[in-house]
Structure 1
Amino acid sequence: MLKFLILFLICFSYGKTQQNSDVIGCGGFIKSETDINYKVVRIQLITKDGIPIYTTEAAPVNGYYMIPVYEHGEYILKLLPPPGWSFEPTQFELNIDGETDSCTLNYDLNFVFKGFGLAGRVLSAGSTSGGPGGVTLTLYQDNRKLNETKSKPDGTFEFFDVLPGQYTVIGSHNHWKFMTSTSHVQLSKERWEFENPIVVLGYSIQGAVVHQSSPLISIDVLLFRTSSNEDNLSLPTCANNEPLNANEISWLPPTIKAQNFVCRTRTNAKGEYIFNDTPIGLYILLPLYKTPSLEIVFIPDQKAVTVTHKDFYVQTPFETGTVSFHGRAVKSTKKEKLTPLSYVQISVDGKPYCQTDSNGLFKLKNIRSTGTIKIKGELDGYIFKELIYAINLNRLIGVGDSSTLLVLSPEKVRVTGRVQCSSIRKQTIRYTDSEKKTIQRFDVEPNSEYTVYVTPGVYTFSPELSDADIRSGLHLTPEEIDVDVSHGSPIDQINFSQLKAKLNGVIHCIDDCQNDLPMLELTSRAGITNKIDLIETSSKTNAVHFEQDNLLPGKYSVSLVNSRKNDKYCWKESQIEVDLSNSNKTIKFEQTGFKLRTHLQTSNKVVLKINQLKENSYTHSIDLLSGLNEICLPNQGLYELIPSSCMKFENEKYFYDTSKSPSIPVDLIPAEYQVFVFIQTENEDPSTSTFPVLIKNPKQNSEFTLDLQKDKSKWTGSFWAKASEQFTIFPKSDIWLFEPDHSAIAISSENCESNQVKFLARRGLFIDGSTYPPVADANVSLYTTLIDSENEQSIDVDGRSMSLFLSSWTNADGKYSFGPLSNTRPYHVTIHKLGHVFTRKSSSLYDFNAEKLASILVQIKDVDGVFLLLTSSTNSMRRRTATTDTTGEILFEDLQSGKYYLRPQLREYKFQPEDAEIELKSGEELVVKFQVQRIAFSCYGQVTSINNEPEFGLIIDAIGIDQCESVTRESAKTDINGQFRLRALQPGCRYRLQYRSNPTDSAQTEILDIEPRNKIVEIFDTDLYDIHLYTTKRPTDADINVFVQTQTQFLNQLKIKLYKISQRESPIQTVTLTNSPFCYFNQIPFDNESYILRLESPLSTSVYTYVQSEITFTANQTFLFFTFNFEPRLKNYDGETGLTGSYSAFIIALLIIALVFKYETILPFLRSFYGYSHEILLPNLVKKSSTLLSTAQVNDQNIKGTSSTSSLNTMNTKTIANPNNENLGLTNDSKRRPRVAD
Structure 2
Amino acid sequence: VSTGEYRLSVLPVDSEGSSNLLFSPGYIDVNVKCPLLDVEFSQSQVNVHGKILCKEKCNQNILLLLVRLAGGVKHETKTTSLEQDNANFVFTKVFPGKYRLEVKHSSSKAPANDDWCWDENTLDVDVGNDDVTNIVFVQKGYWIELVSSHDTEAYIRQPDSSKLELLIKEGSQRMCIETPGQHELYLVNSCISFGTSPIVFDTQNPVLVHISAKKYLVRGEIHVDISSPLEEIDLLEDIVVDAFKSNGSSIDEISTMPVFAKSYQNGITVFEYSTWTDLGEDFIFVPRDSSTRRKKILFYPSRHQFSVSASGCQDAVPSITAKMGLYLEGSVSPATPDVRITILAAGNSKYAMLKKGDIATETKTNSDGSFFAGPLYEDIVYEVEASKAGYHLKQTGPYSFACQKLGQILVHIYGENDTEMLPAVLLSLSGEGGYRKNSVSGSGGTFSFDNLFPRSYYLRALLKEYKFTPSTVAIDLNSGESRAVEFRATRVAFSAMGSVTLLTGQPKEGVFVEARSESRGYYEEATTDSFGRFRLRGLVPGSSYSIRVVAKDNLRLAAVERASPESVSVDVSHS
Same fold at TM > 0.5: no
Structure (1/2) with the larger helix percentage: 1
RCO comparison, higher one (Cα < 8 Å, 6+): 2
> TM-score, normalised on structure 1?
0.21
> TM-score, normalised on structure 2?
0.40
